Amino acid sequence: MSPSLSLLDNITWNTLTGPHARFAEGQGAVRRFAAGFSPIVGFENPERPDFDALSRCCAPGESFYCEQWSGAAPPGWRVELESRMVKMVWRGEMPAEDAAPDALRLLPRHVPQALDLATRTRPGPFGPRTIELGEYYGLFEGERLLAMAGERMCVGSWREISGVCTEPDRQGQGLARRLVLKLVRRQQLRGETPFLHVMSGNAGARALYERMGFADYREVVVRVIERST
């Protein structure tokens, strides 16, 4: 039986009040990933976020990603960025074999390389502790990290694939694709269903994920918000 798609509608809240509660801060109607993880916040009601509760678990100058909320920023907060992203879910067959048997599991010693790659290629919010949220794999050339992909949010049998990025001079060689398929296979062998987020305007990535076996589920607003006071 397919897992309930409704769990994805408020995935951050469901993750941080469920499987990743040990990585969360906040109370009441808000949860955020603790400092050091991806700067993402989840609200019990994402269309009516409780900014008072969020203010009690963050400091002035901190920024967070949130989704679905499109109202005016309340006093003490500002919207740094607004865009749209698509949630995609796996609808393909399980890959017959490991597409990246040469990939290495990322360990704490690889964090500087992972952070450097994420900072330069901007696959989405990424912090020094993000690799603790699931399995992250990388393809290396010596000590140089060429591409990586891993797991972030999860709830029920849904498991997110995230942090997908490749060195600019190695793009187009299928490295990230191999890593994503590796994760898809590993997740399906565990009885999980993969999903991911991709920016709506990234037509190339969306087309690639569709060819691999992902299908659009829902498009949502995504914002970066900052506590200004």
* pLDDT band with cut points at 50, 70 and 90 for residue 3: confident
Do residue 105 and residue 171 come from a single domain?
Answer: yes
Looking at residue 188, its pLDDT comes to 98
Among residues 57, 44, 36, the alpha carbon closest in space to that of 15 is found at 44
Average pLDDT rounded to a whole number, residues 133-141: 98
Here the tokens at position 209 are 């994920």
Q: What angle do CA 89, 103, 217 make, to 5 degrees?
A: 5
The pLDDT mean for the chain works out to: 96
Q: What is the mean pLDDT of residues 127-156?
A: 97
User: Same domain for 106 and 214?
Assistant: yes
Whether residue 105 is found in the same domain as residue 56: no
Q: Encode pLDDT of 182-191 as tens digits.
A: 999 999 999 9
Q: Quick one: 102 and 199 in the same domain?
A: yes
Whether residues 92 and 75 share a domain: the answer is: no
203 shares a domain with 95: yes
| pLDDT tens string 10-61 | 999 999 999 999 999 999 999 999 999 999 999 999 999 999 999 999 999 9
Q: Which residue has the tokens 């002035």?
A: 60
Please tell me the distance from the alpha carbon of residue 174 to that of residue 136, in angstroms, as a whole number: 17
Q: Are residues 191 and 109 in the same domain?
A: yes
Instruction: Examine the pLDDT at 2 and tell me if it is beyond 90.
Output: no
Do 212 and 120 belong to one domain?
yes
Tell me, what's the pLDDT at 13?
98
CATH number for the domain including 177?
A: 3.40.630.30
Do 66 and 137 fall within a single domain?
Answer: no
Identify the weakest region by mean pLDDT among 2-6, 38-42, 46-50, 77-81: 2-6
State how many domains the chain has: 2
Kindly state whether residues 95 and 188 are assigned to the same domain. Answer: yes
- Output the 3-class SS for the chain: CCCCHHHHHHHHHHHHCCCCHHHEECCCCEEEECCCCCCEEEECCCCCCCHHHHHCCCCCCCEEEEECCCCCCCCCEEEEEEEEEEEEEECCCCCCCCCCCCCEECCHHHHHHHHHHHHHHCCCCCCCCHHHHCCEEEEEECCEEEEEEEEEEEECCEEEEEEEEECHHHCCCCHHHHHHHHHHHHHHHCCCEEEEEEECCCHHHHHHHHHHCEEEEEEEEEEEEEECC
Residues 60-76 as b/e (b if ≥16 CB within 10 A, e otherwise) read eebebbbbbbeeeeeee
Same-domain pairing of 127 and 212: yes
Q: Cα 27 from chain centroid?
A: 22
The domain in which residue 144 lies consists of: 87-218
In a shared domain, residues 210 and 169: yes
Within 8 A by CB and 6+ apart from 173, the residues are: 166
